[in-house]
Amino acid sequence: MSTPDQRLADTFVALAQSQGDAFDSAGFLTKLAHHSVEVLGVGAAGAVLVTANEGKGTQAGASHPGVERLELDAACWLEGPSYDCHCAGELLTDSALDEPQARSCWPQYSARAQALGFIGVAALPLRCQDESVGALVLLRKESISLSADVLALGQSLADAATVALLRERELAKSRILTAQLEHALSSRVVIEQAKGILSVRLGLPMDTAFDLMRRYTRSHHLRLTDVAGDVVARRLIPGLEEM
């Protein structure tokens, strides 16, 4: 049987090893939520990743299907502990859901959470330095509030998850940029090949051959790379029929 320390170490390792070409952010959030319940001993957890304004594009994962739905709805309502925590980028300490302040600030959230059987909630920011990308929500069914030690450990989990999420975001940007550069290079090679073919076939200087191909592209409302590809494939010699 693994010890609490071993489970904690395994959790950090699992979060760190979640990157890759098949990275699933929603699945990662769900994994974070389940690990949070196991390590912190809370009733349920929900992890929210905010990718756009006004709740659009928000992703959520949770240890309980009702909590996942609640967090997604809360993003649309623009209320709840995850929304406030993300906006402030700061810890939201344990609050009883039946308190007047909770009912006033989160009328829809508190009612739904209590209907699911929870009586208290805390939220920890998913943040790295000054950037907040979401929140980790901890829900309890017990009357005892979550301790400072539990919240501190929860914040460590949230911080580790944020590093993984931001690293994956940078890797995704890098992959997109690499694909764009490869496409641009490939297109340039095809265009240069087409210029050479036109120059030889039509007996024109390279620059003149390129201008001819460009005029053909514009007059027929085509893309230059497509026309160049047709020239290289010997499907088209622009201007040949006019000469």
CB 29 within 8 A of CB 48: yes
Buried b (16+ CB within 10 A) or exposed e, 200-219: eeeebeeeebbebbeebbee
Q: What CA–CA distance (Å, rounded) separates 8 from 152?
A: 13
Q: What CA–CA distance (Å, rounded) separates 52 from 133?
A: 10
Q: Can you read off the two tokens belonging to residue 44?
A: 């349920």
Which amino acid is it at 95? S
Q: How many Cα neighbours within 13 Å face the side chain of 82?
A: 34
Q: What CA–CA distance (Å, rounded) separates 90 from 80?
A: 14
79: burial class by Cβ within 10 Å (0-12, 13-18, 19+)?
A: middle
When the candidates are 3.30.420.40, 3.40.50.150, 3.40.50.10490, 3.30.450.40, the CATH number that belongs to 4-174 is 3.30.450.40
Model confidence pLDDT, tens digit, residues 108-136? 999 999 999 999 999 999 998 778 899 99
Q: What's the CATH fold of domain 175-232?
A: Arc Repressor Mutant, subunit A (1.10.10)
Q: How many CB atoms lie under 10 A from the CB of residue 29?
A: 26
Helix then strand count (H, E) for the chain reads 9, 5
The torsion of the CA quartet 224, 226, 232, 234, rounded to 10 degrees, works out to: -120
pLDDT at 234 (0 to 100): 83
Low-confidence residues of the chain, pLDDT below 70? Answer: 1-23, 52-56, 238-243
Helix (H, G, I), strand (E, B) or coil at 199: helix
* DSSP letter assigned to residue 45: E
Q: Can you read off the two tokens belonging to residue 239?
A: 């201007």
CB 46 within 8 A of CB 58: no
pLDDT at 117 (0 to 100): 96
pLDDT at 134 (0 to 100): 93
pLDDT at 55 (0 to 100): 45
pLDDT at 56 (0 to 100): 54
Q: What CA–CA distance (Å, rounded) separates 186 from 215?
A: 21
Which amino acid is it at 196? G
pLDDT at 243 (0 to 100): 35
Crossing angle of helices 148-202 and 4-16, in 10° steps, is 20
Q: What CA–CA distance (Å, rounded) separates 44 from 64?
A: 6
CB 59 within 8 A of CB 29: yes
Helix (H, G, I), strand (E, B) or coil at 62: strand
CB 55 within 8 A of CB 78: yes
Q: Domains of the chain: which residue ranges?
A: 4-174, 175-232
